[in-house]
Amino acid sequence: MEKENLNRNRIAAVRFTAAEYNLLVKRFKATTCRQMSEYLRKCLLNRPSTVNYRNESMDEIMLEIIRLRKDLNGIANNFNQAVKKLHTLRQIPEFSNWITDTENQRSELLGKVEIIQHCIEKAAGKWLQ
């Protein structure tokens, strides 16, 4: 019994204009195919090819959430330092300064939380459409 040869040894040459080739490359990069030849075979042989679509509005929201996360990490770090300082305070004037600083950080934190809530509501609205 002879084994079937699965090596690809036939070549079909196709010429493209620069614009056609750029379009082909753009479409290829949007798929999960690892090589251009794999993508071309799928196209020519009418096989399904998986295409990745990006939701640009979600990209914008994710960038904003990443920025907010960095801000919140900074605020949380400052708050932790303030609490550590509270444990070392022994005099009343130092304590009143700490209260003022902590209140400012608290209002900043609440502002960031409101922004996060707005971003999440915006993302949920777009996602549910």
Instruction: State if pTM tops 0.85.
Output: no
Using an 8 Å Cβ cutoff, are 78 and 105 in contact?
A: yes
Predicted pLDDT of residue 55:
63
Per-residue model confidence (pLDDT) at position 127: 62
What is the distance of C-alpha 50 from the center of its chain?
A: 20
- Domain borders along the chain are 1-53, 56-128
Residue 91 per-residue DSSP state: S
Give yes or no for a contact between 49 and 31, defined as CB atoms under 8 angstroms apart.
yes
- Bridge partners of 51, per DSSP, are 31
Q: What pLDDT does residue 54 have? A: 59
Q: Residue 24's closest CA among 37, 13, 10, 12?
A: 37
Please, which residues bridge with residue 31 across strands?
51
Hey, what are 46's tokens?
């009418």
pLDDT at 22: 95
| Helices within the chain (DSSP H only) | 18-29, 36-44, 56-88, 92-128
What is the spatial distance between Cα 81 and Cα 79, in angstroms, rounded to a whole number? Answer: 5
pLDDT of residue 74: 81
Rounded Cα distance, 33 and 51, in Å: 9
Q: What is the pLDDT along the chain (129 residues), one digit of tens a residue?
A: 566 777 888 888 889 999 999 999 998 888 888 899 989 988 888 888 777 665 666 777 777 777 887 888 788 788 778 777 777 776 677 777 777 787 788 788 888 888 887 887 777 677 666
Residue 17: beta bridge partners? none
For position 53, what pLDDT does the model report? 60
